[in-house]
């Protein structure tokens, strides 16, 4: 168990580091190419039992496609840099080789002038599966408390 929580924490920190560094190609490779899902949901909708995600990718192709679109369409003019703080990592085994994961996410943005501010508060709820020595994402839900942010979907969370 202690190995697992450390491996899962390390996986999520790598996930955050790749996004912070805008290494989106490497980020997509954290998802299981055979079967994966990535969704951004508002906490409000989730609590009301409304299943519609703000954004959803239901295959590896969709994950890659969305990121490619972002890289071309948005990040050409976006200059703010993000720092993703992942904390409160919890996990427990599910099924044969799966691991259910929960964590908190707080994202800060810093402008070109070096002024930082709170950007986003969210929770990760995911399932990882074993792949060789490491893990891959079977599903990742990002449940956002901060759904009032216009530019929220300009970057993966």
For a copy of itself, the binding residues (CB under 8 A) are 1-3, 5-6, 10, 13-14, 16-17, 42-44, 81, 83-90, 102, 104, 106, 108, 110-118, 120-121, 123, 144-149
- Contact status, residue 84 vs residue 105, Cβ threshold 8 Å: yes
Is there a contact between 143 and 56 (Cβ–Cβ < 8 Å)? no
Q: How far is the CB of 85 from a copy of itself (least distance, A)?
A: 5
Nearer to a copy of itself (CB atom), residue 19 or residue 64: 19
Cβ atoms within 10 A of the Cβ of 48, count? 9
**Distance, CA of 141 to CA of 48 (rounded, Å):** 16
Q: Which is nearer to a copy of itself, 59 or 110 (CB)?
A: 110
Query: Smallest distance, Å, CB 86 to a copy of itself?
Result: 6
Q: Is the Cβ of residue 96 or residue 113 nearer to a copy of itself in the bound state?
A: 113
Instruction: Supply the minimum distance, in Å, between the C-beta of residue 83 and a copy of itself.
Output: 5
* CB of 35 vs a copy of itself, minimal distance in Å: 28
């Amino acid at each position: 168990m202690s190995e697992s929580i450390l491996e899962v924490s390390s996986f999520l920190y790598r996930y955050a580091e790749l996004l912070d560094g805008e290494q989106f190609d490497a980020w997509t490779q954290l998802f299981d190419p055979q079967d994966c899902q990535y969704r951004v949901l508002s906490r409000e909708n989730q609590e009301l039992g409304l299943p519609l995600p703000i954004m959803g990718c239901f295959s590896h192709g969709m994950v890659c496609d969305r990121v490619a679109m972002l890289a071309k369409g948005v990040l050409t003019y976006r200059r703010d840099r993000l720092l993703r703080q992942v904390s409160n990592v919890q996990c427990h085994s599910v099924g044969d080789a799966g691991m259910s994961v929960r964590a908190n996410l707080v994202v800060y943005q810093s402008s070109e002038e070096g002024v930082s501010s709170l950007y986003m508060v969210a929770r990760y709820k995911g399932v990882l599966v074993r792949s060789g020595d490491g893990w891959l994402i079977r599903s990742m839900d990002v449940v956002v408390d901060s759904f009032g942010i216009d530019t929220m979907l300009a970057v993966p969370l």
